Amino acid sequence: MSAIAATLKPRKAPIQERSATTVATLHAAAIQVLIKDGLDRCTTTRVAERAGMSVGSLYQYYPNRDALLAAVLEKHLDAVADAVERACHDLEGMPLASLASGLVIGFLRVKLGDPEGSKALYGVAEGRGGGDLAAKMQARIVAAMSALLASAPDARFDDPVMTSAVAFSALAGPVRLLLKGEAPAGFQDDLQDQLIRLLTAYLQSYSVGRGTGR
For a second copy, the binding residues (CB under 8 A) are 38-40, 122-123, 126-128, 131, 134-135, 138-139, 142, 159, 161-163, 165-167, 169-174, 176-177, 180-184, 186-187, 190-191, 193-195, 197-198, 200-202, 204-205, 213-214
In angstroms, the CA 58 to CA 67 distance is 11
Q: Which does 190 bind (CB under 5 to 8 A by kind): DNA, a second copy, none?
A: a second copy
CB atoms near residue 190 (< 10 Å)? 10
Specify the residue, 42 or 199, whose C-beta has the smaller distance to DNA: 42
Q: Which residue ranges make up the site for DNA (CB under 7 A)?
A: 12, 16, 18-19, 22, 40-45, 53-57, 59-61, 63-66
**In angstroms, what is the minimal distance from the CB of 40 to a second copy?**
7
Please state the length of the chain: 214
Distances (CA, A) of 191 to 164, 172, 173, 180, 181: 20, 12, 12, 14, 14
Specify the residue, 70 or 148, whose C-beta has the smaller distance to DNA: 70
Which one-letter amino acid corresponds to residue 7?
Answer: T
**In angstroms, what is the minimal distance from the CB of 122 to a second copy?**
6
